[in-house]
Structure 1
Amino acid sequence: MKTSFLQWLSPYALVLALRHLLYDRGFFRSYDFEVPVICVGNITVGGTGKTPMTEYLAGRLLESGKTPMVLSRGYGRRTRGFRYVELADTAFDSGDEPLQIKRHFPGTVVAVCENRAKGIRRLIEDYPQDPWIILDDAFQHRQVRAGKNILMADHNRPFTKDTLLPFGRLRDLPAAARRADCIVYTRCPESMADCEKTGERHAGMPVFYTFMSYGSFLPLHDPAVMPRTGAPVLLVTGIANARPLKEHLQKHYLVACHIEFPDHHRFTGKDIARMRELLDKNPSWQLITTAKDAVRLKGSGIPGWIIPVRICFFSRESEDAFFHLVTGLQ
């Protein structure tokens, strides 16, 4: 009751309700496309695993012999309009997340465009041969009627128990979740049984549970020897929710210092100098950062390590059921 009451006190509530009504009644137009369009998004601020899910879909589609193409807004870039992401780009050219995806899948077409409908038309025009378009962070972009909508949610912060900004973390009405074809909970407990016991219930909506798996370190610029178990590390993050990563590292290393910046933070010369100073004063420390932050640290020359992350399902059966639901493929 309290959550519902606060929701309608939000200055965004009536605006969002009217916007959805106008789309639902056809006053605002939504566009369909004859090619597969899969939307990955959420209705909360903060990290819910949208980019790992986008990378997962791109990888599975490639394994299936398809041609995935990723279209993103390109948050934080200084360019405007439609643009193909190139390996030589910086985060200022295309945004950190699209560039991260491009570097993970160099042969995959990745593009940015504020207007998703225009972006899709351009991709179809340039690549008419069986494109499979993945929209990264586009659940609220109702101008496009995607073939499948995947709603990402943090198992530890369920949107069903949250409310709209500024009182909570929701950036859309909870009822918007009904437009999804499935809900994927990320950062779940260690077992599927625990998820099913504590998970939220969504009548008639397929729900999938996942967890984040951290991989082996990758070099950032010219790091020293890879950190040994228990070694002190300097953690540098500029992501929405660094807590799970920090907790993971603390199981294996001594996180001697954590410099935490806001999401999509543009590292300045002063920021880099601070990192160098800490590393110089503490020669045993090694810097660890995320793949997303590494995109913005490229060219800084700061030595360190990148810790990759990927989304994982609890069973092959669950993973295959999800992939079939959103693609129709086996």
Structure 2
Amino acid sequence: MNVLRKILFPFAILYGFITTIRNFLFDKGILKSTSFDIPVIAVGNLSVGGTGKTPQIEYLIRLLSDKYKIATLSRGYKRKSEGFVLADSTSNAEILGDEPFQFYQKFPNIQVAVDANRTNGIIQLLSQTTKPEIILLDDAYQHRKVKAGFYILLTAFDDLYSDDFMLPTGNLRESRSGAKRANIVVVTKCPKNLSDEKQQGIRLKLKLKYGQQIFFTFIDYEDTVYGSQDERVEVKDVKSEAKLLLAGIAKPKPFFDFLKNEKDECLTFPDHHHFSENDLNEIQRKAQNKKIITTEKDYVRLKDAGVISKLYYLPIKSTFINYQQNFDTTVLEYVKRQFV
């Protein structure tokens, strides 16, 4: 914790008090929450960014989309549009935001929408000619005006909410007690070989309430990087050559560590960064005609920002260390109960 954050400790206490009162008012029904007649699954975190929401949403899409009509609803962070937008062939990352546009490109059989007002967004989705049967709310754990039927709370292995503190001293958006709303807690970005003993230690540390389930996942990288016109290069070949690694995500270190060698240069931008012409020129200058490898989220912004040669992205996915079938069964049983 740096000095400035320590100085701001009184504001963290005040912010924690305000969010606690807000949650109390929603819990008691004094502030209104709207519920809906279809399954609504909210995925989010207590902290600010970096827990792996996007691969978790994509996991749920893969789990559910073969059986049900799925829609994702996101805020569309840093998009240049306003209000409710339903993705179509004219959409891009500036209109939808990078993560929703990534969903739209990867999963053409689902509906992708953005709206800062999640209640209105769900109402608009249900007014479409083709109505979704399930709505996945992206980063909506604190959006209490919607009462989701099922909550999945993410916390990163190296930044557990139990070790954190309220903003601005820490990174928590609300107090640790907010975890009690979760049906499932997923500890993300774990080491692949996390032992049963260490998993049990984290269970005890998070102090889950009776009935809450906990699962452990790691970020799994694909064996191939992808470019335009379906160009593909094996990761083992990319790792050995000199290249520029580029990331505009909350926590880029694991991405860099997975790909880099001593000949590489790493270029970092803020999360959800909109690339300017100066940025593009800097990227090309530093690349010096070498391959540029970026994250999938950055790729959807960069490919529309301007012409960048030799640009590739490395897809990731969330993989369960164990008990994946239990997670799948819990989610599917919740969905099935809503159709009875």
TM-score by length of 2: 0.87
CA offsets 1:194-239 (integer angstroms, 9 cap, x no match):
5415424233221000011111101147989764442122111111
Is the 8 Å Cα contact of residues 249 and 255 (structure 1) preserved in structure 2? no
**Shift of the alpha carbon at 1:245?**
0.9
**Shift of the alpha carbon at 1:46?**
2.1
**Shift of the alpha carbon at 1:143?**
0.7
Q: Distance in 2 between matches of 1:150 and 1:243?
A: 25
Is the 8 Å Cα contact of residues 163 and 169 (structure 1) preserved in structure 2? yes
- Name the SS of the counterpart of 1:199 in structure 2: helix
Match of 2:325 among 307, 320, 328: 320
**Shift of the alpha carbon at 1:327?**
2.9
Map residues 209-228 of structure 1 onto 2, 5 A cutoff. Answer: 209-215=216-222, 216-220=224-228, 227-228=237-238
Is the 8 Å Cα contact of residues 12 and 167 (structure 2) preserved in structure 1? no
Query: Is the counterpart of residue 24 in structure 1 residue 27 in structure 2?
Result: yes
Partner in structure 2 of residue 172 of structure 1: 174
CA offsets 1:18-54 (integer angstroms, 9 cap, x no match):
2112112212101111101000000101211111111
Is the 8 Å Cα contact of residues 230 and 254 (structure 1) preserved in structure 2? no
Q: Distance in 2 between matches of 1:161 and 1:225?
A: 40
Query: Is the counterpart of residue 301 in structure 1 residue 304 in structure 2?
Result: no
Q: Distance in 2 between matches of 1:130 and 1:234?
A: 41
**Shift of the alpha carbon at 1:279?**
2.1
Partner in structure 2 of residue 181 of structure 1: 183
**Shift of the alpha carbon at 1:151?**
0.1
Structure 1: stretches of 5+ with no match in the other structure: none
Q: Percent identity?
A: 35
Map residues 283-302 of structure 1 onto 2, 5 A cutoff. Answer: 283=289, 285-299=290-304, 300-302=306-308
Is the 8 Å Cα contact of residues 233 and 255 (structure 1) preserved in structure 2? yes
- Name the SS of the counterpart of 2:243 in structure 1: strand
**Shift of the alpha carbon at 1:324?**
2.0
Match of 2:258 among 220, 243, 248: 248
Partner in structure 1 of residue 3 of structure 2: none
Is the 8 Å Cα contact of residues 246 and 293 (structure 2) preserved in structure 1? yes
Match of 2:41 among 32, 38, 41: 38
Is the 8 Å Cα contact of residues 220 and 294 (structure 1) preserved in structure 2? no
The amino acid that maps onto 2:272 is H
Q: 1:145 to 1:121 in 2, by over 3 A?
A: same
Q: Distance in 2 between matches of 1:174 and 1:143?
A: 20
**Shift of the alpha carbon at 1:254?**
4.2
Deviates more, 1:190-199 or 1:231-240: 190-199
RMSD after superposition: 2.3
* 4+ residue segments displaced more than 4 Å: 6-9, 127-130, 220-227
- Name the SS of the counterpart of 1:57 in structure 2: helix
Partner in structure 2 of residue 278 of structure 1: 286
Is the 8 Å Cα contact of residues 292 and 311 (structure 2) preserved in structure 1? yes
Count of aligned pairs: 319
CA offsets 1:42-81 (integer angstroms, 9 cap, x no match):
0101211111111110111123x21111011111111111
Map residues 1-330 of structure 1 onto 2, 5 A cutoff. Answer: 9-63=12-66, 65-126=67-128, 131-193=133-195, 195-201=198-204, 202-203=207-208, 204=210, 205-215=212-222, 216-220=224-228, 227-250=237-260, 253-254=261-262, 256-280=264-288, 283=289, 285-299=290-304, 300-302=306-308, 303-315=310-322, 318-328=323-333
**Shift of the alpha carbon at 1:86?**
2.3
- Name the SS of the counterpart of 1:58 in structure 2: helix
Q: Distance in 2 between matches of 1:89 and 1:98?
A: 10
Deviates more, 1:223-232 or 1:14-23: 223-232
Q: Distance in 1 between matches of 2:186 and 2:137?
A: 16
The amino acid that maps onto 1:311 is S
Is the 8 Å Cα contact of residues 102 and 297 (structure 2) preserved in structure 1? yes
Is the 8 Å Cα contact of residues 233 and 254 (structure 1) preserved in structure 2? no
Q: Distance in 2 between matches of 1:166 and 1:174?
A: 15
Q: Distance in 2 between matches of 1:113 and 1:177?
A: 24
The amino acid that maps onto 1:74 is G
The amino acid that maps onto 1:161 is D
CA offsets 1:84-142 (integer angstroms, 9 cap, x no match):
01244222211111001111101210001111111111212215656111000000000
